[in-house]
Amino acid sequence: MGNIFTPSGASGVESDAMKTFACLVLFSAILAPGVVAQTKAASAAAPQPYQIQISAGVAEKLLIQKVNVACPHVEMAARVIGTVVVALEIDKDGDVLHPSVVSGAPMLRKAVLDAVRKYKYKPYLLNGKAVEVETTVSVTVNTLVDCPAD
């Protein structure tokens, strides 16, 4: 008759594999409650980062410096009119971070992104402290009006 690790008739290789498996199962059963408790304690102790999202209207009121969209000749010739929506982050100093196009006319996207990167905002204050925020901005371009011919 075999012991708890070796059923009768099992070979030495199978026996070693079963012993290793049994030890791992036993070890993980012993450690699991402590690991879960440590993980919960660590997550409760360290504040989790969160993103604050503000509306486009609030962001517009914080805008200090707006840069006009440069009109490349291709867009002027095509007489493109449209709105490009850009998602962005505003850092604690009011600088634009990570602008990316959400929607809009493909021909206008690069020019709008270039302009939005240069925008400057007043820092958003939360409890009197400047914080990083996420928002969107809509930029409407009418090459017929905004881009006079040279």
Domain containing residue 111: 52-146
CATH code of 89's domain: 3.30.2420.10
pTM of model > 0.85: no
pLDDT band with cut points at 50, 70 and 90 for residue 129: very high
User: pLDDT tens digit string along 43-77?
Assistant: 555 554 567 999 999 999 999 999 988 876 666 66
**Residue 28 shares a structural domain with residue 89:** no
Are 70 and 94 contained in the same domain? Answer: yes
Q: Any idea what DSSP says for residue 123?
A: P
Mean pLDDT in the chain? Answer: 78
Mark whether 65 and 42 lie in a shared domain.
no
Q: How far apart are CA 87 and CA 54, in angstroms?
A: 11
What letter would DSSP give residue 95?
B
Pairing of strands 96-103, 52-53: unpaired
Please give the tally of structural domains in the chain: 2
The whole-number pLDDT of residue 44 equals 54
In angstroms, the CA 6 to CA 15 distance is 5
d(CA 102, CA 87): 6
Q: Among residues of the chain, what percentage have pLDDT more than 90?
A: 46
pLDDT of residue 36: 47
Which regions of 22-123 does DSSP assign to beta strands (E)? 52-53, 63-65, 81-90, 96-103, 120-121
If asked whether residues 98 and 123 sit together in one domain, one would say: yes
pLDDT recorded at residue 34: 52
Which residue bears the tokens 């962005």? 88
pLDDT in tens, 8-51: 555 555 567 667 666 655 555 555 555 444 545 555 555 545 67
